[in-house]
A and B are shown apart, each in its own frame.
Chain A
Amino acid sequence: MPEFKVILFMCNWGPHAAYQELQDRAAEIPPEIQMVRIPCSGRISKALLFKAFEMGADGVLLLGCETGTCRYGTGTATALKNVEDTRGILALLGLGADRLRFASFMPDEAEALLEFLQTAISDIRAIGPSPVTPPVKRSPILEEAETIRQVVAAHDVYACQDCGKCSSACSLTLSGKPFSPRAIAGAVINGEIASQAVRDGIWSCLTCGLCYDRCPSAVDFPLFIRDMRNVLSNAGLPGFEAHGGFFQSLMRTMTSPGVRPRHYEWLSGDIKTDHKSKILFFGGCAPYFDIFYRNHLGVETARILKDAIRLLNFFDIYPQILEDERCCGHDLLWSGDRESFRKLARLNVDRIREAGVEEVVTACPECYRTLATDYPAEGVEVPFRVVHLFEILDREIEKGAVEFKGPEQILTFQDPCRLSRLENRPELPRKLLARLESWDFREMPDSGRGAICCGNTAWIGCDAFSKALQAKRLRQARETGSDLLVTACPKCQIHLKCAMEDPFQGEDLQMTLRDLTSILADAIQWA
């Protein structure tokens, strides 16, 4: 019998009593099952459910009490939502939604439980073994002193003059967090890496790059932090991943060559693509975000992908798409997992090369930065051009005979750090904003290269201070008198929307958010 692993998370109350009865009478519980007893099914978050798949489980079963009988009130309801969302993600990832199931049992339902377990196992067996190769457990690299010296030298952190321009600009510092880029730089140079404060600092940084923009010695602090995170991860130290590390798990899962995502299954038929085109549209992970956040924020970031292709279609460009598109790896690189990043990068480049593509278009600032800059910098050669959708739109609109019609609104713009600062292209979205003639555009006080961060990068270190700086940013946006906050990155939208959910100051922070790509797609017309 091939080794088949199904993890059974079982609530301590209803189902466990039934399970014990099965054990007591030595019932034939399928041997594939590895049972983990838990206090309540509602405590198994999406991250925990998914972690099992990242580690190579062929299936996961979550058992709870029946709705209404939860000892803690909302456990079952929460579990149902978590399972539904994770199933959606599994489907999109191509693993198959049916590898994960929820069921509820009362203590006296031992027979029903046994039948459920047997059916579930045979169903999961029918889907086949999981294509995920679990990550090989490495022994931690403890010889960190030398690596750290190399990182410090590579980014010339020694050039830091301790002047404090960085902390006077840093969005985090200004939101009140005891955080200082120059202090971290100094401490790392002095070999104080064991200090918890320094480690916390390394995981707190937004890597938004505002400090690098201001630094008179041009110390590239974001890249330094990125590499320091890699050093800490290699040493086996935990990171500060938000959402229980769900997204990092998701992206690591994609490093298995056998995984074949179904990235565009949701795309409707009025979108035209051409599998022979020399132009490839690289969408990014937004479809996963929409599923993950559907019960909380209700964001619609996958629309950006659809609207981007709509816009290309408008100009008679019918790009190729990769049905099995994977993550670009941005978040893995920036959360310290360079090894997985390189795996993903190689898989992606091989796949794109195989597709015979000459130009890759993306509407995501992170994919743009990662494909265009980080892949070559990390030693993965890119045999194609990488362009941002906005460049193509600007070129096509420039030809004329196009106009934009829509409600007269006052717009303001949240710069995505990867596009406006790290890639230094703040003019790209602005050229397009300037073409929306019937709209009024007003800049926030901190804009372009100097824009304040949306609050988080790479799903790392989200805390109350992130919230404080988001609230500050939203107030700035409202003070411009605008009624629409335009974003150009799915994550800016998610993070700012999250801040608006604040139960205490939410009302003061409300603002309609829309992505620039979607605005253009809805307003563009032939003149």
Chain B
Amino acid sequence: MTETEKGKAEKTEIIITGFGGQGIILAGRILGKAATLGDHRESTLVQSYGPESRGGACSAQVTISDSPIPYPYVRNPDILVCMSQGGYEKFGGLLREEGTLLIDRDLVRMGEDDRPRFAIPATRMAEELGRKMMANIIMLGFLTSVTGVVSPRAARDAVAESVPKGTEEMNITAFNKGFDHGAALLKGRRKKASGKTGA
């Protein structure tokens, strides 16, 4: 995020949603950690528990701000990350008009909804890496490159710190995969906008 953008949107509200067990809450926690410990900003996390964490739509609400956050709940997110169909259906309508929507391409069908979105086959990519459970980290990398809400270095440090010992390298690989995918997607859009589709 550039300096001017940062000044204007000093507070960013994010909802990450998916099935219980996908590591949604962990992704939210890593994001908040990256913002506070790495980027030295303020952040809060509200995690929704209850029956949702037994396989229903679960969510992590993250607020990142340059000033102290008096109210941690997120009503209308600036960034919405959907890793399940249920999550998309429950939170999809809450996204702000100018908000950014990120989805797992294989798990979310948007039907008639033609809002702009950033799609990544995170779960499939995690499977290709050999660990389906790393889809959340891939999504986090993707989120970092597409939105720039946290700096890549802070995010990588937070990932390495938050995952089980011994799996750091693998998780960083996953993070980089998502990050590269986001960067490639942005590059592709830039190229398309300048009228260059093919080689």
Task: Decide yes or no whether B130 CB sits under 8 A from chain A.
Answer: no
Question: Which of B125, B188, B196, B199 contacts A527 (CB under 8 A)?
Answer: B188
Check if B199 sits within 8 Å of A521, measured CB to CB.
Answer: yes
Within 8 A of B (CB), among A495-527: 520-527
Q: Which residues of A contact B180 (CB under 8 A)?
A: 398-400
Q: How far is the CA of A69 from the CA of B23 in the complex (A)?
A: 87
Question: Which of A307, A398, A400, A401 contacts B199 (CB under 8 A)?
Answer: A307
Question: Which of B184, B192, B199 contacts A524 (CB under 8 A)?
Answer: B199
Task: Decide yes or no whether B198 CB sits under 8 A from chain A.
Answer: yes
Q: Which residues of A contact B198 (CB under 8 A)?
A: 314, 522-525
Q: Which residues of B contact A400 (CB under 8 A)?
A: 120-121, 125, 180-181, 184-185
Given known A-B contacts A526-B188, A526-B191, A527-B188, A399 and B197 have beta carbons under 8 A apart:
no
Q: Which residues of A contact B181 (CB under 8 A)?
A: 399-401
Residue count of chain B within 8 Å CB distance of chain A: 18
Closest to A395 in B: B180
Question: Which of B121, B125, B191, B199 contacts A311 (CB under 8 A)?
Answer: B199
**Pairs A-B, 8 closest by C-beta atoms:** A526-B188, A401-B184, A400-B181, A314-B199, A401-B185, A399-B180, A399-B184, A310-B199
Sampled A-B contacts (21; CB under 8 Å): A307-B199, A314-B198, A314-B199, A316-B187, A399-B177, A399-B180, A399-B183, A399-B184, A400-B120, A400-B121, A401-B185, A401-B187, A401-B188, A521-B199, A522-B198, A522-B199, A523-B198, A526-B189, A526-B192, A526-B196, A527-B185
Task: Decide yes or no whether A173 CB sits under 8 A from chain B.
Answer: no
Check if B188 sits within 8 Å of A313, measured CB to CB.
Answer: no
Q: Which residues of B contact A527 (CB under 8 A)?
A: 185, 188
Q: Which residues of A contact B197 (CB under 8 A)?
A: 525-526
Closest to B118 in A: A401
- Rounded to whole Å, the gap between the CB of B191 and the closest CB of chain A is 5
Closest to A309 in B: B199
Residue count of chain A within 8 Å CB distance of chain B: 20
Q: Which residues of A contact B184 (CB under 8 A)?
A: 396, 399-402
Query: Mostly helix, strand, loop or mixed at chain B's interface?
Result: helix
Q: How far is the CA of A314 from the CA of B188 in the complex (A)?
A: 9
Q: Per-residue CB proximity of A401-436 to B under 8 Å, as 1/0?
A: 110000000000000000000000000000000000
- Rounded to whole Å, the gap between the CB of A168 and the closest CB of chain B is 39
Closest to A313 in B: B199
Q: How far is the CA of A462 from the CA of B141 in the complex (A)?
A: 55
A binding-site residues for B, Cβ under 8 Å: 307, 310-311, 313-314, 316, 396, 398-402, 520-527
Q: How far is the CA of A313 from the CA of B187 in the complex (A)?
A: 13
Q: How far is the CA of A316 from the CA of B196 in the complex (A)?
A: 12
Q: How far is the CA of A522 from the CA of B192 in the complex (A)?
A: 16
- Rounded to whole Å, the gap between the CB of B179 and the closest CB of chain A is 9
- Rounded to whole Å, the gap between the CB of A191 and the closest CB of chain B is 56
Q: How far is the CA of A314 from the CA of B198 in the complex (A)?
A: 7
Q: How far is the CA of A520 from the CA of B184 in the complex (A)?
A: 18
Known pairs A401-B185, A401-B188, A523-B198; list 16 more (Cβ under 8 Å): A316-B187, A396-B184, A399-B181, A399-B183, A400-B120, A400-B121, A400-B184, A400-B185, A401-B181, A401-B184, A401-B187, A402-B188, A525-B197, A526-B189, A526-B191, A526-B197
Q: How far is the CA of A316 from the CA of B192 in the complex (A)?
A: 14
Residue of A314, A522, A523 ringed by the most chain B CB atoms within 10 A: A314
- Rounded to whole Å, the gap between the CB of B67 and the closest CB of chain A is 36
Q: How far is the CA of A527 from the CA of B184 in the complex (A)?
A: 10
Within 8 A of A (CB), among B156-199: 177, 180-181, 183-185, 187-189, 191-192, 196-199
Q: Which residues of A contact B121 (CB under 8 A)?
A: 400
Q: Which residues of B contact A521 (CB under 8 A)?
A: 199
Residue of B180, B184, B189, B196 ringed by the most chain A CB atoms within 10 A: B184
Closest to B186 in A: A401
Q: How far is the CA of A520 from the CA of B180 in the complex (A)?
A: 21
Q: Which residues of A contact B183 (CB under 8 A)?
A: 399
Residue of A313, A399, A520, A523 ringed by the most chain B CB atoms within 10 A: A399
Q: Which residues of A contact B196 (CB under 8 A)?
A: 526
Q: Which residues of B contact A396 (CB under 8 A)?
A: 184
Q: How far is the CA of A72 from the CA of B130 in the complex (A)?
A: 72
Q: How far is the CA of A525 from the CA of B188 in the complex (A)?
A: 8
Q: How far is the CA of A316 from the CA of B187 in the complex (A)?
A: 9
Q: How far is the CA of A135 from the CA of B199 in the complex (A)?
A: 44
Q: How far is the CA of A523 from the CA of B177 in the complex (A)?
A: 24
Q: How far is the CA of A20 from the CA of B21 in the complex (A)?
A: 98
Closest to B197 in A: A525
Closest to A314 in B: B199
- Rounded to whole Å, the gap between the CB of A525 and the closest CB of chain B is 5
Q: Which residues of B contact A523 (CB under 8 A)?
A: 198
- Rounded to whole Å, the gap between the CB of A257 and the closest CB of chain B is 36
Closest to A526 in B: B188
Q: Which residues of A contact B189 (CB under 8 A)?
A: 526
- Rounded to whole Å, the gap between the CB of B127 and the closest CB of chain A is 14
Q: How far is the CA of A313 from the CA of B191 in the complex (A)?
A: 12
- Rounded to whole Å, the gap between the CB of B10 and the closest CB of chain A is 30
